[in-house]
Chains A and B, each alone.
Chain A
Amino acid sequence: MLANYGFKDGSGDWFLVIDTDKCDGCGKCEAACPANVLEVGPDEYDPFREEPVAKVREEERKKIRYSCASCRPGYGEEPTPCVIACESGAIYHSEGWKFLYGKQ
């Protein structure tokens, strides 16, 4: 399941996406995130899933645009720390930061 955490408003698409089919709940992304945006816990969207899964904290979802900006998703030279930490390739960002802040 693709969980798009974040929002879309007049200024763009601001989502941190977690592919729960690929996520094994290892928690490396949670540890890597400098903004403390991620956590690992029971899957709220699939009551029958047994392993834990990574997600964006509820209180962070509405300001993900601001929390993720300092890691420069899509417009920096390197992938963001959470993306680097994830060995399953389960986490990525939408294009909002790239379009609004970086060279295209």
Chain B
Amino acid sequence: MLVAGIDVGGKNVHIVLMKDGTMLEKGAAPTGIKKAEAVEQLYDKVLRQAGLKREDVEHVVATGSSGRRVTFAQGVIPEAAADARAVVRLIPSARTIIDVGAEEGRAIKINSEGRVLDFAINEKCAAGTGTFVDTMARALEITVEEMAKASLQSTQSIPMNAQCAVFGESEVVSLIHAKTPKHDIARAVHDAIAGRIGSVARIVGLEKDVVMIGGVAKNTGFVESLKRELATDVLIPDEPDFVGALGAAVAAETGVIEEKVETRVVERQDYEESSN
């Protein structure tokens, strides 16, 4: 069976084509302002890469903060459910998932079957998201990759006072003016956001194995800060930014398609039902 999983995030769209349980093809592109268009264009591109057409795909499931923009999907599942399904396949020992994307950060507690047991989210505030890191990288005039490397070289821990991306940017500019070395600032940024994500993760408990996914998982500097904050090891699957889309594909394959989710406020019952 050929299925597609589409994760429409705040910053990027990720798409996974899966055939009989194996990932066939994948692709990513910026979501941009015209989200539906970005999805359509990327979908057609990924299909072309695989030498396939839309009709070849049996089921499409979407997820992500703008999952509902995928008008041709058979269903839309909450991100937590998508993450749970994918992670338990990739790392069966996983019991805690930390997913940090461009616009949201969440922590999910799962059991051995990939069923969501508990959930906590950091949303509507850039301070607990990849956007915080991006904003500071711009202020430092370096890329996020450079920022990750720089952060790993720092041996100093400078606490950040600001808990907001806008005020944080001013604070970083002040630190630059005060001639603080860039690698120390980079680490301060990662430590600050790791502190916030860590608090959210502790709400669901840190049962091992702790797995991190989402775009920010590619930031090695942040991951180091998070490991320090949680005082535990954190596992990262390959291509952690595709895990959401993979989870949607798994849902498409197993035929577990839910109703479109209207509200995004956490209700533990919602996720228990949707994980059935």
- Tell me the interface secondary structure of chain B in the complex: mixed
B203 lies within 8 A of A63 (CB): no
Residue from B120, B200, B268 within 8 A of A103 (CB atoms): B268
Given known contacts A66-B195, A66-B199, is B124 in contact with A103 (CB within 8 Å)?
Answer: no
A66 lies within 8 A of B196 (CB): yes
- A70 at the B interface (CB under 8 A): yes
Given known contacts A10-B125, A101-B120, A103-B268, is B163 in contact with A63 (CB within 8 Å)?
Answer: yes
Bound-complex Cα distance A93 to B268 (A): 22
Residue from A10, A67, A104 within 8 A of B124 (CB atoms): A10
B163 lies within 8 A of A69 (CB): no
Bound-complex Cα distance A11 to B129 (A): 13
| Interface residue tally for chain B (C-beta within 8 Å) | 21
Chain A residue nearest to B163 (CB atoms) is A62
- Expressed in whole angstroms, the minimum distance between the Cβ of A59 and any Cβ of chain B is 8
- Expressed in whole angstroms, the minimum distance between the Cβ of A75 and any Cβ of chain B is 9
- Tell me the interface secondary structure of chain A in the complex: helix
Contact indicator per residue, chain B 200-234, by CB within 8 Å of chain A (1) or not (0): 10110000000000000000000000000000000
Bound-complex Cα distance A56 to B162 (A): 17
Taking CB atoms, residues of chain B closer than 8 Å to A66 are 195-196, 199-200
Taking CB atoms, residues of chain A closer than 8 Å to B268 are 103
Given A62-B163, A66-B199; 4 other pairs, CB 8 A cutoff = A11-B125, A63-B195, A69-B199, A100-B121
A interface vs B, CB < 8 Å? Answer: 7, 9-11, 59, 62-63, 65-67, 69-70, 72, 99-101, 103-104
